[in-house]
Structure 1
């Protein structure tokens, strides 16, 4: 008798690396789990920019030679919406235009489908899965706090009758301390915005999924995850089961490459090798983080005055070739021209105490280095998880998307960060005196509690993914649910 065909997990990620790779890594854990045979089929949308397309294709090439049972199905191209009113509006609408092609791809599978796993921006396609008779899971690449807010947003929409930017008071999100309106995610602040309308719809769609896979851990965000599980996020309507399987990171990949080759360490790592333990503050702002010249001047003044050793990844503004003005908001920075951006004499005055790096830097390797004692970060969730994995306290400097809520949670709920006052009305501008204060606090005695909490969270992260840990147990439950639910699509 022929063996039954292997069920496949069909993945529909958004094209950004923080979405695509965390979803794929999570589902690879399911694939690799002993006793549960799955394959992965990645549905590849053509990104709306050439640079994003190149990055996706690089991910595809790398995974194609991984030796794992991962297949790639390229969806037909669609014309992007020309009248999108904002980044989130564009992304959600562009993805939704692929719905007929997703339906055809899943319906045409020659093996049982364990589930359709959807990016959070693709959540409305739970209807596609339902129509085909297959389970659907939303992958939450952001925080449990953001999940609680998205599920609770329809309730807040009814209760709060003015725009959140007009609210006199705090916003109550189940499982979190009261949230100041200025700490809400960018797409949520203005109720009149199409971006806000999409987030209302996305939160509703989450509730119709078979389950939610979250890149977090019970011990990292007990409050928000408990609020979702016990029904406080959406009173009167039970939420789908949530599977916190994180932190999902490619642990140790850089170290293994370094050990298996004769290549010298990256220049940033070599510079850190010469610094005392926990003496360096690391400043890095993600794949899309860059600053105008006036902000660069403030940062240089702060770093000179505080006197701490620093490693600063400074990127230049996007060029038209790199995606400036991209409809999906992916304005990728260019390599910085340090002579143009930095004040005259700054590099000479800080020689030996600081390194300004003008291009991509190996963030995971840097955060793992014993010389690093603090991290000034845009508070993107992947960067936060990397920092917590290594027990590094933070000073969050949010720039876009949900990062303001992440920053609030890091300071007010987790206690792993020191506050940094960011002026949202001035494009998240930070004065030199404020950054100086935050760095002194982060690296000095005032930051001791944040350092202790970050060390605790390092242990929480590592225990969660160990055999028998909370995330390992969630992965086991997810694997069983997927295996039991695998069915041939029905047309």
Structure 2
């Protein structure tokens, strides 16, 4: 074994899962060369789901080492800040713990490479000082990467907050345009500290030795070519970009036994439905709709007339736990009874990967989170795109206009509300129209390309092998004595 690859993730379950899947892939293909250590923070974003997931992975993949950094606290009220600003501050405050962890790991093994999350930019100067090559890992796709690389140019030209620019459309070279008010939350308010932080993150994407992306070339060829052309960063070299996906997590480790045992019924129900007849609706681990929107969505499903499997969480105003969803109170009166012959409503969670791979699935209404997109792509399921937060509005436009694998819903300006009539229209278009048939055919063909990318001679496998060869040839970073001298100089 030639050394250790250290992965530094962001404390959110989707990021953690993608990072662990990257580690598993490296071990599967190149475990004879490298050990894997994943660094985890403590103090912000901690959740039972992350703890349970890590515990399960530790048992099923003991070759992956997890190291927790010392606890760090941040006060969201001092000064008052957005959730994103607090998260970014928290990551920065983990710099000391990150440094010490790299020093500790280096006493037993050579740290060949540090792979950091998009939000882990504060690690770059530490790794460079220790002479450790640093690569970014983007848990979004290549299209989102192209947009993030270009964002500093939009920031430079903007004179007021994007949230105050209703009706303004932002142009990205070679990419679909986007309404200013649909930009990722940290960019909306120039007075929010998160705005400056995201500017910093985007600008420093070019400072790494390379960028790994959870996608594959056949899925996003336009974006891959766009980045390589240099138009996203016209004033600086763009680091090499490596498409190494699709990385899809093992969902059996994501939910507690009590939830899983109660939700497996949906798989049995799907097996009794006709082929390609069911629309699946699920909005991700963080996706919670308002009570009004839940009722309106139910109205749309009833009007649409198609079979459906719908995962319902408590509304966004509700503080209750995962298992106490009151469906009778949330749904329109009589909805569950009227639709019981063609629909199933599941509380809180369903085994999404398994659901998408069932023959009964004909479409997927999704929030456009990238993990969910890749799961649908790998299963060959066409999409109805209903973005909620983060970069999901970007993903919607990419899916609809560039990849041509989704039908987008029209959302009300301001709050993103979707009418029942619009829900019915989008579902019918996907399931009944000629365009929907074409999207389903393209999605099924992309399923084959996704499998090919991870095959023994596939594009993603070849790219990872190229990286592994480069990493194995890298000179050794500082030894432990040099590291200690360097730290002493800082103190």
* TM-score normalised per structure 1: 0.89
Give me the whole-angstrom Cα distance separating, in 1, the residues matched to 2:123 and 2:62: 27
RMSD: 2.3
Give me the whole-angstrom Cα distance separating, in 1, the residues matched to 2:353 and 2:159: 43
Shift in alpha-carbon separation, 1:265–1:191, aligned structure 2, 3 A: closer
Alignment check: 8 A CA contact 2:314 2:320 kept: no
Higher RCO, 1 vs 2 (CA within 8 Å, ≥6 residues apart): 1
Which residue of structure 1 aligns with residue 463 of structure 2? 474
Which residue of structure 1 aligns with residue 213 of structure 2? 214
Alignment check: 8 A CA contact 1:91 1:121 kept: no
Which residue of structure 2 aligns with residue 112 of structure 1? 110
Alignment check: 8 A CA contact 2:244 2:464 kept: yes
**Aligned counterpart in structure 2 of residue 274 of structure 1, from 266, 272, 275:** 272
Shift in alpha-carbon separation, 1:103–1:84, aligned structure 2, 3 A: farther
**Aligned counterpart in structure 2 of residue 53 of structure 1, from 31, 47, 57:** 47
Shift in alpha-carbon separation, 1:430–1:67, aligned structure 2, 3 A: closer
Shift in alpha-carbon separation, 1:182–1:441, aligned structure 2, 3 A: farther
3-state SS of paired residue (2:364):
strand
Which residue of structure 1 aligns with residue 68 of structure 2? 74
Which residue of structure 1 aligns with residue 440 of structure 2? 451
The structural deviation recorded for 1:486 is 5.8
Which residue of structure 1 aligns with residue 421 of structure 2? 433
Give me the whole-angstrom Cα distance separating, in 1, the residues matched to 2:456 and 2:192: 45
Give me the whole-angstrom Cα distance separating, in 2, the residues matched to 1:279 and 1:304: 15
The structural deviation recorded for 1:42 is 1.5
Give me the whole-angstrom Cα distance separating, in 1, the residues matched to 2:475 and 2:351: 39
Alignment check: 8 A CA contact 1:190 1:196 kept: yes
3-state SS of paired residue (2:52):
helix
Give me the whole-angstrom Cα distance separating, in 2, the residues matched to 1:487 and 1:62: 33
Give me the whole-angstrom Cα distance separating, in 2, the residues matched to 1:320 and 1:407: 28
3-state SS of paired residue (1:121):
coil
Correspondence 1:246-395 to 2 at 5 A: 246-250=245-249, 266-317=264-315, 320=319, 322=321, 335-395=324-384
3-state SS of paired residue (1:58):
helix
Alignment check: 8 A CA contact 1:286 1:380 kept: yes
Give me the whole-angstrom Cα distance separating, in 2, the residues matched to 1:266 and 1:370: 16
3-state SS of paired residue (1:76):
coil
Alignment check: 8 A CA contact 1:316 1:334 kept: no
Which residue of structure 1 aligns with residue 185 of structure 2? 186
The structural deviation recorded for 1:175 is 3.5
The structural deviation recorded for 1:252 is 9.6
The structural deviation recorded for 1:479 is 1.3
Indicate yes or no: 2:176 matched with 1:177.
yes
**Aligned counterpart in structure 1 of residue 133 of structure 2, from 127, 132, 135:** 135
Give me the whole-angstrom Cα distance separating, in 1, the residues matched to 2:346 and 2:251: 23
Alignment check: 8 A CA contact 2:251 2:351 kept: no
The structural deviation recorded for 1:423 is 2.1
The structural deviation recorded for 1:162 is 4.4
Alignment check: 8 A CA contact 1:88 1:198 kept: no
Between 108-117 and 271-280, report the one with greater CA deviation.
108-117
**Aligned counterpart in structure 1 of residue 81 of structure 2, from 74, 82, 85:** 85
Which residue of structure 2 aligns with residue 204 of structure 1? 203
Which residue of structure 2 aligns with residue 121 of structure 1? 119
Give me the whole-angstrom Cα distance separating, in 1, the residues matched to 2:85 and 2:425: 37
Which residue of structure 1 aligns with residue 233 of structure 2? 234
Shift in alpha-carbon separation, 1:25–1:12, aligned structure 2, 3 A: same
Which residue of structure 1 aligns with residue 3 of structure 2? 7
Give me the whole-angstrom Cα distance separating, in 2, the residues matched to 1:456 and 1:385: 14
3-state SS of paired residue (1:282):
strand
Shift in alpha-carbon separation, 1:252–1:194, aligned structure 2, 3 A: closer
Indicate yes or no: 2:96 matched with 1:100.
yes
Report how many residues are paired. Answer: 466
Alignment check: 8 A CA contact 2:213 2:241 kept: yes
Which residue of structure 2 aligns with residue 257 of structure 1? none
Show structure 2 runs of 5+ residues with no match.
254-260, 484-491
3-state SS of paired residue (1:434):
helix
**CA deviations over 1:241-300 (Å, ceiling 9, x no partner):** 11110110147979xxxxxxxx99920011111110111111111112222221122111
Alignment check: 8 A CA contact 2:43 2:73 kept: no
The structural deviation recorded for 1:429 is 1.0
Shift in alpha-carbon separation, 1:361–1:486, aligned structure 2, 3 A: farther
The structural deviation recorded for 1:182 is 4.5
* TM-score normalised per structure 2: 0.89
